[in-house]
Amino acid sequence: MGKRIVVKIGSSSLTSEQGGLNRDRVKFFADELASLHRSGHQVLLVTSGAIAAGFRRLGYASRPKLVHEKQAAASVGQALLMQAYQEALDASGIAAAQILLTRPDFSNRGRAQNATRTIEELLKQHAIPVINENDTVAVDEIKFGENDSLSALVANLVKADGLYILTDMDGLYTGDPRKTPEASRIEHVETLTEELYRMAGGAGSSVGTGGMRSKLEAARIAMQGGVPAFVGRVSDPGDLQAAVAGQGKGTYFASSLHSLSAKKHWVGFLSDPQGRVVVDDGAGDALLNRGRSLLPAGVTAAEGDFHPGEVVEVVGADGRVLGRGVTNYAAWQIIAVAGLSTEEARKRVEVGRIEVIHRDEWVASTIVKEAHAHE
Ligand SMILES: Nc1ncnc2c1ncn2[C@@H]1O[C@H](COP(=O)(O)OP(=O)(O)O)[C@@H](O)[C@H]1O
Ligand SMILES: N[C@@H](CCC(=O)OP(=O)(O)O)C(=O)O
């Protein structure tokens, strides 16, 4: 039966050594996508490459570094990128449908629904949606930067059967293979652990932006959205079909048994945190490993000016981000009760719920022990 498949192709797979768009690679990937399409799958593509395709045409000698220069290069290059895909797909009679998105397009319900409806219609008409970040308007907090997390949010939005993140490396290794030649490939990941995050480094080339770390983050978003993911290489004809059939050159990430509720998905991946709550080691362990709520006793500090009902980041004593949750306290209230017992805290502040963050409104930054997440 046909599956709904999201394929992400990164800059490192599409660019020539000088950093420009490699049209032969575009043609190769378009053929791989067309082959999936012919097999009866619904295919969506998330592709980078706009900056690579545009910077020379605009007159820059090398890939620009400043944000507004990148944006200008992307606006020239996006049209060239689409043209390259469309020309390559013409042979198969497939229409390429350009979709440019930013973060608020996912967090705003109305916009997300509009995007979903458009995509559903495109798939019904047998087109391939070709998605990239809307680089013209995307800066700072609405920006993805890399397209890995964009592809995971797309996969969740359209309830894909699989997310395939293609890159220049054949999967996640125990260390960055460019720096650690003895590193070995991890074939299957059931649960994302701190250790895996430590193994994943940054981008390997001057054109890639996210590196393995952002691919792991994307895998996490997909896994928690109930979508299995693959990170690997497609370099020979038939490789993408093989990857979809479970025999790809890469790492497979199992979808989480219990996908996140719509609310937790929003808290974890779409919300814009308004501040930070610092917790001690015991509270960090309770949140990450024991499926507990955050109580005043484990809090040591609050940073920023936030209000009850807003999303905050929770950080450990060492400054490491542990996750995000909806706070039941204002920043000043947290400061007033930090370190106090629940009983004492009740006497000092008037809050709707005594937990600083309730476990039902908390999403960890790593999937640690799945079983506890739903106790
Ligand atoms: N543990 C690891 N396993 C595999 N690759 C890694 C690891 N850590 C870092 N990398 C680097 O991540 C790179 C892929 O990311 P990136 O350059 O951002 O690609 P893309 O443009 O495809 O998104 C690889 O070339 C590799 O050097
Ligand atoms: N959206 C931009 C940049 C995205 C980008 O480089 O992402 P990635 O290849 O995932 O590291 C582009 O199309 O050039």
Annotated binding-site residues for ATP read 8, 167-168, 209-215
Q: What distance in angstroms lies between residue 306's CA and the mean position of ligand 2's atoms?
A: 33
DSSP state of 267: I
**What integer is the mean pLDDT of 23-48?**
97
- Rounding to the nearest 10 degrees, give the CA dihedral for residues 342, 344, 350, 351: -10
Atom of ligand 2 nearest to the CA of 146: 7
Enter the pTM of the model: 0.87
Site residues for ligand 1, CB cut-off 6 Å: 10-13, 167-169, 172-173, 175-178, 199-201, 203-205, 208-212
pLDDT of residue 365: 86
pLDDT of residue 366: 73
pLDDT of residue 231: 97
Q: What distance in angstroms lies between residue 190's CA and the mean position of ligand 2's atoms?
A: 27
Atom of ligand 1 nearest to the CA of 173: 3
Q: Which residue's alpha carbon is at the smallest distance from atom 12 of ligand 1?
A: 211
Q: Is the pLDDT of residue 371 over 50?
A: no
Q: Which residue's alpha carbon is at the smallest distance from atom 11 of ligand 1?
A: 204
Confidence of residue 278 (pLDDT cuts 50, 70, 90): very high
| Nearest of 305, 287, 289, 310 to residue 297 by alpha carbon | 287
Euclidean distance between CA atoms 97 and 130, whole angstroms: 5
| Nearest of 182, 181, 158, 185 to residue 170 by alpha carbon | 185
pLDDT of residue 219: 95
Euclidean distance between CA atoms 249 and 187, whole angstroms: 9
Q: What distance in angstroms lies between residue 112's CA and the mean position of ligand 2's atoms?
A: 21
Helix (H, G, I), strand (E, B) or coil at 28: helix
pLDDT of residue 369: 43
**What integer is the mean pLDDT of 300-316?**
97
pLDDT in tens, 122-139: 999 999 999 999 999 988
CB distance 7 to 34 below 8 Å: no
Euclidean distance between CA atoms 159 and 165, whole angstroms: 16
Confidence of residue 145 (pLDDT cuts 50, 70, 90): confident
**What integer is the mean pLDDT of 160-177?**
94
Which of left, alpha, beta for 75 (phi over 0: left; psi -120 to 50: alpha)?
A: alpha
pLDDT of residue 22: 96
Q: Which residue's alpha carbon is at the smallest distance from atom 2 of ligand 2?
A: 48
pLDDT of residue 188: 96
Pocket test for ligand 1, best of 8, 25, 166, 168 (most atoms within 8 A of CB): 168
Q: Is the pLDDT of residue 164 over 50?
A: yes
pLDDT of residue 96: 98
CA 25 from centre of chain: 24
pLDDT of residue 207: 60
**What integer is the mean pLDDT of 142-158?**
91
DSSP state of 332: H
Give me the sheet containing 4-9, strands edge to edge: 96-101, 128-133, 42-47, 4-9, 162-166, 229-233, 249-253, 188-189
Counting every residue written for the chain, the total comes to: 375
Atom of ligand 2 nearest to the CA of 145: 4
Query: Could you tell me which residues come within 8 angstroms of residue 350 by beta carbon, excluding any fewer than 6 positions away?
Result: none
Which range is least confidently modeled, 55-59, 71-75, 174-178, 272-276?
174-178
**What integer is the mean pLDDT of 58-77?**
95
What single-letter amino acid sits at 19?
G
According to DSSP, the β-strands at 4-9 and 42-47 are parallel
pLDDT of residue 140: 75
Euclidean distance between CA atoms 90 and 34, whole angstroms: 10
CB-based burial of residue 100 (10 Å sphere; 0-12 exposed, 13-18 middle, 19+ buried)? middle
Euclidean distance between CA atoms 287 and 362, whole angstroms: 8
pLDDT of residue 372: 37
Q: What distance in angstroms lies between residue 148's CA and the mean position of ligand 2's atoms?
A: 9
DSSP state of 158: T
pLDDT in tens, 336-366: 999 999 999 999 999 999 999 999 999 998 7
**Average pLDDT along the chain:** 92
pLDDT in tens, 181-231: 899 999 999 988 888 888 887 666 666 566 888 999 999 999 999 999 999
Pocket test for ligand 2, best of 147, 150, 231, 233 (most atoms within 8 A of CB): 147
Euclidean distance between CA atoms 317 and 278, whole angstroms: 7
Q: Looking at the CA of 166, name the nearest ligand.
A: 1
CB-based burial of residue 18 (10 Å sphere; 0-12 exposed, 13-18 middle, 19+ buried)? exposed
Q: What distance in angstroms lies between residue 287's CA and the mean position of ligand 1's atoms?
A: 30
CB distance 54 to 83 below 8 Å: no
**What integer is the mean pLDDT of 15-38?**
95
- Side-chain-facing half-sphere of 191: CA atoms under 13 Å: 13
What is the distance between the terminal CA atoms of the chain, rounded to a whole angstrom? Answer: 35
Helix (H, G, I), strand (E, B) or coil at 232: strand
Euclidean distance between CA atoms 198 and 109, whole angstroms: 34
pLDDT of residue 374: 36
pLDDT of residue 202: 66
- Residue 136, token pair as written in the block: 């013209």
Q: Looking at the CA of 178, name the nearest ligand.
A: 1
Euclidean distance between CA atoms 240 and 246, whole angstroms: 10
Give me the sheet containing 276-279, strands edge to edge: 299-303, 276-279, 311-315, 321-327, 357-364
Q: What distance in angstroms lies between residue 328's CA and the mean position of ligand 2's atoms?
A: 37
